[in-house]
Structure 1
Amino acid sequence: MIVDFLNTVDSVLYYPILIIVLAAAGIYFSIRTRFVQIRLFAEAVRTLIEKPHEAGGVSSLQALLVSTASRVGTGNIIGVSTAICLGGAGAAFWMWVLAIIGASSAFVESTLAQVYKHRDRRTNGCYGGPAYYIESALHSRWLGIVFAVFLISTYAFGFNLLCSYNLQSTFETYSFYNPSVTPWIIGVILAVLVGFCLFGGGKRIVKTTGILVPVMGLFYVILAAIMLIAHFNLIPSVIVAIMQDAFNFQAIGGGIAGSCLMYGIKRGLYSNEAGVGSAPNAAAAAHVSHPVKQGLAQMLSVYIDTLFLCTATALMCLVSGVPGTAENAGAMYVQQAVSTTFGTVGPVFITVSMTLFAFTTLLGNLYYVHNAIAYINKKKMPGKATMAVIHVLCSLVVLFGAVTPMDACWALADITMGGMALINLPACVILGGVAIKALRDYEFQRKQGRNPAFIARRIGLDAEKLDYWHHKERDERE
């Protein structure tokens, strides 16, 4: 009954509500920015090689890597395979559409995070995100708190519950897997490791996985490339199958909640998080001379996640010839697909990759949670006792995620993430004019051959009401 209720809420939330909001916001921002996500693609790549504007600060590339690390993970593997198994091959196409349209939303939200970010007097760094631009520009701290609560619900509960489930599901393909026992064992081990790291230990574990994850990500891309080369002759027919399924409107109209359109949007949004309001928290940390630089950089993160990694998974599964069904939805479908080329080594590699991806994703998610807690607590972290209780609860979520049914995990993640988007995207639409003016100012300076520098009054803003840029302008005058 609980799972049915969650699935009902999930279906109503995404159709018709969220699908309309996502499409309307993405199209609106694309038109207002004159398709910045396509027009300034080369400029976005160029900004990544720039050094941070302040010595010792976070560069655009570093902020991009942080946000990409939070996007790239279990969703790129299991989310894509689940969408294809349950929705059909056409789900891949609707992921592409969401990425291209959503990239404009990612540009706007990250540019706004830069404009309204705050300076950290203690570390000389900077921080911000949707809660901060909602409070600063819309003068609504209560709505900022509501957004922060949804963020905590999403990253401490929904996403971590799902991440834990996804990890344990990679073991289902092995003979030793016992559905009554193995998930509990994996859940306990994972919860203990996460708790150990959260309570100040495990620094070496975090550092090691931080090094291994990019390496495993690179090997995953190589694995996908080898599979695609081995089945190169099948790629054209797979592309045709994707397009035919994507535009099978009779099938979509017959049951839109379970169609490739809806699964493509749900799993695409879960993977790239464009417009959800998570990436701006990382974007605000970058030290750039102009907010638009980070908006352009974060736009690329959506492309890397969906058009590159998600596409690799989708094509890899589809060219393998393994049928995607409800029974093998998730990790099993990917493992069966790679085994057609790599034998028994393939599934083991997926399990190892998923273990590293899931662990770093769990800890990365809780970084966002800490920032949201600090915002609610008037920009400072609560006492040690309160944080200890929070860390214990987060560890328990990881434990129970491993033994929670798949449908419930996906529905909870979709619902909490949808709540974030329904607050963040309307706020971005209301404040979108600021990002548009900032973009025009940036392009004007680039046409003059200058390295764009942000001065608030040029776009009609009062620098004294912008914490970071007010102090920056004052320091430069002095």
Structure 2
Amino acid sequence: MDELNAIVTNVSDVVWNVLLLWLLVGTGVYYSFRTHFVQVRHFGRAMKRVFGNINMSGEKAGKEGMSSFQALATAIAAQVGTGNIAGCATALISGGPGAIFWMWLAAFFGMSTIYGEACLAQKTKTRDEDGNVIGGPVYYIQEAFKGKLGRGLATFFAIAIILALGFMGIMVQSNSISDAFNSALGTPTWLVGLIVALVAAFIFIGGISRIASVTEKIVPVMATIYIVGGLIVLAINYRNLPAAFASIFVGAFNPRALGGAVAGKTVQMAVRYGVARGLFSNEAGMGSTPHSHAIAKVDKPQQQGEVAMVGVFIDTFIVLTMTALVILSSGVLDQCITDGMTGTPVAQEAFSNAFGGFGPIYVAICLMFFAFSTIVGWYFFAAQNVKWLIGKKALKGFAILVTIFVFLGSLLKVELVWNLADLFNGLMVFPNLLALLALSGTVAKMAHEDEVADERAKK
């Protein structure tokens, strides 16, 4: 197992450090300029569009798709997962406080990338043989590259996302839930995995209507619970907040100046783990969230593009940042690095400083909501590609396989699960980014149409 883990780690490092690290951020920068920084120009309007239409009991999703908020809730369910707790802690341990700065930077540019993904998914959505609205990267990949090349790239993407999210990624979420409850309450990992698998299977069987119904209810509740708890911890540690913020900026460019165990980190490590874990968390450019944004019922693609940007903002600048500040203000990072601690236990240690014995339990409960909602969202994304690749008859078998992998994920070693997820997430990004770059003119045109409309409205 250790040899396999070493091989996966080496391959994943090449994929992320040599190729994707700069390609993903570069695409975000390129899209930011091509759309005239739509993430800044339309940020206020995007927030109004989302928070002015929150409805936890929206219309039932069906053949015509789902509401814009349900689509965002499904996307956020996938985005806000273990990456916001375990992934953030891992980034801090491996890259130091400076990793958070690079997470922010990647997320800022990623907001324009995900705007493009949502717009293209809306523009190329279609209907399946039963008349259901369906869409996602496989459709705009074929729009970007015609013929055999387009079909080949779309097929590669479909296979990669099925493996990345439907199997490996879901195992990461299940692993984090079982690990958290085992650390907090001593609950056997197999028992936690079994319970999670059974509940997940019940939701999978319900299809799109049950998935949309669950995500629109669970996402606002889980985010509120976690943010309130985090704010309480920050209020208790308020004297340490200036130093926590300072360590993020100093660590991004000069980690050695921080001293302690963090001094052993480098700028390269901060960039690598910050960007990788940040993109794993908010999924901008990865081609996952367009599956839900594609079937949102909106008047024009740009509207869902704006909504999609809010998902990245909530994931990274609110939820993930909350975890980082709790850990940094609690002063546990150096000792955790020295002790070789990583993942969820680091966050539990930080919350324990404020909540005592309830800290690990609180993190376990929040992580259960985060990770479980991600399991639901990722299953939906992967299932859409199974349907496109093989046909709807394969969905029942796929649901059974995913349920088994949810259980198996609770038993596997953390390092191997994370590294496999990193690798397969990296592989699925390539065809998606190629299509985004090829269709950047289309997205720029849509963004500029809104810009012209805004100017006319002012006059």
Range of TM-score over shorter length:
0.7 to 0.9
Deviation of the 1:105 alpha carbon: 0.8
In the alignment, which residue of structure 1 is the partner of 2:137? 130
Give the AA of the match of 1:230. Answer: I
Q: Which among 78, 99, 102 is matched to residue 70 of structure 1?
A: 78
Aligned residues: 437
In structure 2, what residue type is equivalent to 1:194?
A
Report if the CA contact (8 A) 1:154-1:417 is conserved: yes
Matching residue's letter, 1:156: G
Measured against aligned partners, the alpha-carbon deviations of 1:427-463 in whole angstroms (never above 9, x if no partner) come to 101111001011112222232239xxxxxxxxxxxxx
Mapping of residues 378-389 of structure 1, within 5 Å: 380-382=391-393, 386-389=394-397
> Which residue identity lines up with residue 381 of structure 1 in the other structure?
K
Could you tell me whether the CA contact under 8 Å between 2:185 and 2:361 is conserved in 1?
A: no
Matches within 5 A, 1:11-160: 11-48=13-50, 49=52, 58-119=66-127, 122=130, 126-139=133-146, 140-160=150-170
Query: What is the match of residue 400 of structure 1?
Result: 408
CA 1:441–1:50: 2 relative to 1, 3 Å: farther
8 Å contact from structure 1 (residues 161, 400) kept in 2: yes
Asked whether the 8 Å contact 2:120–2:301 carries over to 1, the reply is yes
What are the superposed Cα offsets for residues 378-408 of structure 1, whole Å, 9 maximum, x if unpaired?
xx412xxx44432332122112211211111
Match of 2:425 in 1: 417
Q: Structure 1: how far apart are the matches of 2:212 and 2:404?
A: 19
- CA deviation profile, 1:57-90 (whole Å, cap 9, x unmatched): 6443332222112111222111111111222111
Structure 2-normalised TM-score?
A: 0.87
Quote the Cα distance in structure 2 between the aligned partners of 1:145 and 1:238. 45
- 338-347 or 254-263, which deviates more: 254-263
User: 1:246/1:255 Cα in 2 relative to 1: closer, same or farther (>3 Å)?
Assistant: closer
CA distance 1:255–1:228, shift in 2 (3 Å): closer
Residue of structure 1 equivalent to 2:298: 288
Q: Supply the distance in 2 between the matched residues of 1:197 and 1:421 (Cα, whole angstroms).
A: 27
| Structure 1: stretches of 5+ with no match in the other structure | 451-478
Q: Deviations over 1:112-138 (max 9, x none)?
A: 111111146856x63211101112342
* 2: CA distance, partners of 1:106 / 1:210: 20
For residue 375 of structure 1, the aligned residue among 374, 388, 399 is: 388
Which residue of 187, 211, 214 corresponds with 2:220?
Answer: 214
Conserved 8 A contact 1:86-1:258? no
The aligned amino acid for 1:97 is: L
SS at structure 1 position matched to 2:407: helix
Instruction: Kindly indicate whether the alpha-carbon contact (under 8 Å) linking 1:109 and 1:428 is maintained by their aligned counterparts in 2.
Output: yes
Range with greater deviation from structure 2 (420-429 or 136-145)? 136-145
Distance 1:44 1:360 in 2: 23
Residue 240 of structure 1: how far off its partner (Å): 0.9
8 Å contact kept, 2:96–2:265? no
- Give 1:192 deviation, angstroms: 3.6
Q: What's the secondary structure of 1:328's corresponding residue?
A: coil
The sequence identity of aligned pairs, in percent, is 34
1:253 to 1:130, Cα distance in 2 relative to 1, 3 A: farther
Q: Distance in 1 between matches of 2:175 and 2:453?
A: 49
- C-alpha change, 1:38 and 1:216, in structure 2 (3 Å) is same
CA contact (8 A) 2:83 2:281 kept: yes
- Which of 139, 149, 161 does residue 171 from structure 2 map onto? 161
Q: Deviations over 1:22-55 (max 9, x none)?
A: 1221111111112111122112223334799xx9
Aligned equivalent of 1:327:
340
Segments of structure 2 that go 5 or more residues without pairing to the other structure are none
Question: Following TM superposition, by how much is the alpha carbon of 1:358 offset from its aligned partner in structure 2, in angstroms?
Answer: 2.3
TM-aligned CA distance change 1:344 to 1:268, over 3 Å: same
1:168 CA drift (Å): 1.3
Q: Determine whether 1:347 maps to 2:369.
A: no
**For each residue in 1:304-344, what CA deviation from the matched residue of structure 2 results, as whole angstroms up to 9, or x when unmatched?**
10011100000011111223326321111111111111122
1:357 maps to 370
Distance 1:207 1:27, change over 3 A: closer
Q: Under a length normalisation based on structure 1, what TM-score does the superposition of the two structures give?
A: 0.84
The one-letter code of the counterpart of 1:449 is A
Which residue in the other structure is 1:454 paired with?
Answer: none
What's the offset of the Cα at 1:4? 0.3
Inter-CA distance 359–50: structure 2 relative to 1 (3 Å threshold)? closer
Contact kept? 2:114, 2:308, Cα under 8 Å: yes
Tell which structure's C-alpha radius of gyration is larger: 1
Amino acid at match of 1:129: G
Report runs of 4+ in structure 1 exceeding 6 Å deviation.
203-210, 249-258
Query: What secondary structure is seen at the aligned counterpart in 1 of 2:340?
Result: coil
Helix, strand or coil at the partner of 1:448:
helix
Cα pair 1:126 1:286 within 8 Å, conserved: no
Amino acid at match of 2:22: I
How far apart, in 1, do the equivalents of 2:73 and 2:224 lie? 14
* Contact 1:11–1:257 under 8 Å retained in 2: no
Match of 2:331, SS? coil
**2-structure distance, mates of 1:47, 1:119:** 26
Distance 1:288 1:242, change over 3 A: same
Q: Deviations over 1:401-423 (max 9, x none)?
A: 11211111111111111112111
- AA aligned opposite 2:352: S
The whole-number CA distance in structure 1 between the counterparts of 2:324 and 2:304 is 29
Which of 234, 237, 240 pairs up with 2:240?
234
Distance 2:200 2:80 in 1: 19
Return the alpha-carbon distance in structure 2 between the equivalents of residues 165 and 207 of structure 1: 25
Cα drift, residue 238 of structure 1:
0.8
